[in-house]
Amino acid sequence: MRNLNKPPRYNVASVQAQQTLGGDVMQSHEQGDYVEFRDYQWLLTEKQRLDSLTSEMDKTINASQAECRRLKAELTDLKSTADRFEVENSILMKETYRLMVEVKSLMTNPTSRLLRAEREENARLKAEVERLTKAGDVMAEWFFDSDSLVANWQAAKGGKTK
């Protein structure tokens, strides 16, 4: 490739040839690769502009490649995280199913039904004792003039007052 930083030499045609043909006319040269200086100036300016664009495009390409590498690394990290979550989710789903089976078994098991029935009976009996104790307190207030009756009631309650 020819170096465009230095213009090639050329021979300008005679003044008579320039007047006849109109303008800057070059004589033929044995190498045949000469251009007029004004064309050379335009070519040099165009080359500098294209070099600048090439440099900008190289920077853009380099930045794009770096971003592409970063995104690939991020994608790899996300895939490994997703794989870990998938394994953990599988483990949790199995554990959830196991617990559901266990709960269902306990709910249908005769022993658990008995325990549930006993809890319900205990709650009912506690409520009844509370109700009867309150009724006894009210009756003791009616017989407040009979100290022996009130004392017996207090003793029966275990010394508890209202």
Report, in angstroms and rounded to the nearest whole number, the Rg of the chain calculated over CA atoms. 53
Provide the 3-class DSSP secondary structure of residue 32.
coil
Ramachandran class of 69: left when φ > 0, alpha when ψ lies in -120 to 50, beta otherwise: alpha
Residue spans per domain, the chain: 1-35, 38-108
pTM over 0.85, yes/no: no
Residue pLDDT tens, the chain, 162 long: 455 555 555 445 555 555 565 555 554 445 555 566 667 778 888 999 999 999 999 999 999 999 999 999 999 999 999 999 999 999 999 999 999 998 887 777 777 777 888 889 999 999 999 888 888 887 777 766 667 777 777 777 775 555
Partnered with residue 26 across adjacent β-strands are 12
Contacts of 106 (CB under 8 A, 6+ apart): 112
| Cα gap 162→144, rounded to integer Å | 14
Which residue, 40, 42, 35, is CA-closest to 10? 35
